[in-house]
Amino acid sequence: MNHRENAQPASDKEFLGTDPIGKLLFRLAVPTVIAQLINMLYNIVDRIYIGHIPEIGATALTGVGVCMPLIMIVSAFAALVGYGGSPRASIFMGKKDNESAEKILGNCFIVQVIISLILTAVLLIWNRDLLMAFGASQNTIEYGVNYMNIYALGTIFVELTLGMNAFITAQGFAKTGMMSVLIGAVANIILDPIFIFGFDMDVRGAALATIISQGLSCIWVVSFLCGKKTFLKIRKKNLILVPRFILPCLALGVSTFVMQASESVISVCFNSSLQKYGGDIAVGAMTILTSVMQFAMLPLQGLGQGAQPIISYNYGAGNAVRVQSAFKLLLKVSLCYSVILWLLVMLLPGGFAAMFTTDAALMEFTKTALRIYMGAMFLFGIQVSCQMTFNALGKAVESIIVAVMRKFVLLLPLIYIMPRIFSSDPTTGVYTAEPIADVIAVTFTAILFSIQFKKALSKMKKQC
């Protein structure tokens, strides 16, 4: 940790409003991006190992890939609470009202626990039915069920780690937030081959390694938020739900929830459509495409999360100049990243495919599909920067509109429309739905954001 993270709350909690924007964003965003990349390893490493299991690798990979919609839903509920509550806590910190910020933290913690218990029951009771509905076939269903039966038991670890870690980052403790996921990821990388190959547990070993790793991360996160170094603490008196604190947080978190949970719905639609037109190989390719998409989205979200405390704190403090400067820098860095990764995908699709499979047929199929599916990825920097800034400003309605537009209004219908247009190659048509939706969505988001951001800046300047 740097000197900021070792400082006592009373003496050094205003650096979000005073330190230079560039240095501050670098200090907060770099660990947060690293944390997102590490967090991605939980599922990516599982898939890499599973894809290389002798004889059953390709089929097992497809089976676990069908689990992704359920895993995305679990993560989405963590985001609903964590990414809805943490910006509001930062805004209250900017207003010098730490008592209200701590009430938000406590309310969000208890809601995460309640959600975890409900999700665990649902996943244990109905996972087979859900996986069949999500595109599993008779060849792959058992692998999916074996994975989810174990993964479901660690739901509370996933919820508390992802949801509460957002409050660590929101206070400016980016390195501590990075350590939260680093602990789990390192454990996962070590345990995966032991359980999968050493104990011959195949996909069950991957799931067991994941929940043990998430458990270690959860212990770290909760211990920090109950300790002495944090500005905001989890206190018993704040674990009683208060509507005026928790409801605005959930309203703000809806947009992130929709954005992540819709990935689950979209994944179901993609899988069912691809199963119809292309069979197991097309669904298997989609598992790899989804993984590569995470390479694009999670670091971008990490940049946004690094900028969020700066934007939220200064918005609460009424400092329009710092809010504007932070967004502009976020946009530039995000756009550069998305363009560079897009170029790599277009030039080296085989390299990305080879990370997940040694099956020649699946690799060749994936190379072509990847270029199509990621065709508009260079624009993601704009989309995610605007989306995350809406959240940082507490703009719940605008965030929800942007999230719903891209997924439900555009992509969902296009998954079924494009195969009819590409009637000679409907599988390609399914993959084409993604870049078309992305281009339209980014245009819409940029226009809406420019209007609303100007209004927010103008309002702050008038209040000064």
- DSSP-assigned states of every residue in 406-423: IIIIIIHHHHHHHHHHTT
Give the model's pLDDT for residue 212. Answer: 94
Assess whether pLDDT exceeds 70 at residue 77.
yes
| % of the chain with per-residue pLDDT over 90 | 33
Within-domain flag for 163: yes
Average pLDDT across the chain, whole number:
85
Does the pLDDT of residue 4 top 70, yes or no? no
Residue 7 is assigned to a structural domain of this protein: no
pTM listed for this prediction: 0.72
Structure tokens at 288: 């790899």
Q: Is the pLDDT of residue 167 over 80?
A: yes
Q: CA-CA distance, 385 to 289, in Å (whole number)? A: 22
- Provide the domain limits for residue 382: 19-463
Q: What are the φ and ψ backbone dihedral angles of 248, each rounded to 5 degrees?
A: -60, -30
Report the pLDDT value the prediction gives residue 39, as an integer from 0 to 100. Answer: 66
Specify if 12 maps to a domain.
no
The CB density around residue 244, as the number of other CB atoms within 10 Å, is: 9
CA distances from 401 to 128, 246, 396, 440 (A): 33, 21, 9, 14
- pLDDT, one tens digit per residue, over 194-215 is 998 888 888 888 889 989 999 9
Q: Report in angstroms the alpha-carbon separations of 345 from 11, 275, 289, 338, 370.
A: 46, 24, 11, 11, 8
**Where does the pLDDT of residue 14 fall: very low under 50, low under 70, confident under 90, or very high at 90 and above?**
low
Closest CA to 258 of 79, 433, 411: 79
Q: Which two tokens stand for residue 151?
A: 């993964």
pLDDT tier, 2 (very low <50, low <70, confident <90, very high otherwise): very low
Indicate if the pLDDT at residue 13 is higher than 70.
no
Average pLDDT over residues 436-463: 89
In this prediction, residue 31 carries a pLDDT of 80
Q: What is the predicted pLDDT for the residue at 329?
A: 92
Residue 43: per-residue pLDDT? 62
Q: What is the pLDDT of residue 334?
A: 93
Q: How many structural domains compose the chain?
A: 1
Residue 3 located in a structural domain: no
Tokens of 65: 């890939």
The answer to whether position 9 is within a domain reads no
Lowest mean pLDDT among 118-127, 309-318, 335-344, 432-441: 309-318
Query: Average pLDDT, stretch 26-54?
Result: 75
pLDDT score recorded for residue 109: 95
Residue 46 has pLDDT above 80, yes or no: no
**Does pLDDT of 10 surpass 70?**
no
- Give the C-alpha separation, 385 to 376, whole Å: 16
- d(CA 224, CA 220) in angstroms, rounded, equals 6
Percent of the chain exceeding pLDDT 70 equals: 94
Beta strands in 234-369 (DSSP E): none
Q: How confident is residue 262, by pLDDT bands cut at 50, 70 and 90? A: confident
Question: For 360-382, how does the pLDDT look when each residue is reduced to its tens digit (9 = 90+)?
Answer: 888 888 888 999 999 999 998 99
Residue type, 140: T
pLDDT band at 260 (very low <50, low <70, confident <90, very high): confident
What span, in angstroms and rounded, lies between the C-alpha atoms of 443 and 357? 35
**Rounded distance between C-alpha atoms, residue 292 and residue 355, angstroms:** 10
**What is the average pLDDT across 302-313?**
86
Report yes or no on 74 lying in a domain.
Answer: yes
- 115: confidence class by pLDDT, cuts 50, 70, 90: very high
Whether 186 is covered by a domain: the verdict is yes
CA distances, 105 to each of 35, 71, 101, 400 (Å): 21, 24, 6, 22
Number of H helices, E strands in the chain: 18, 0
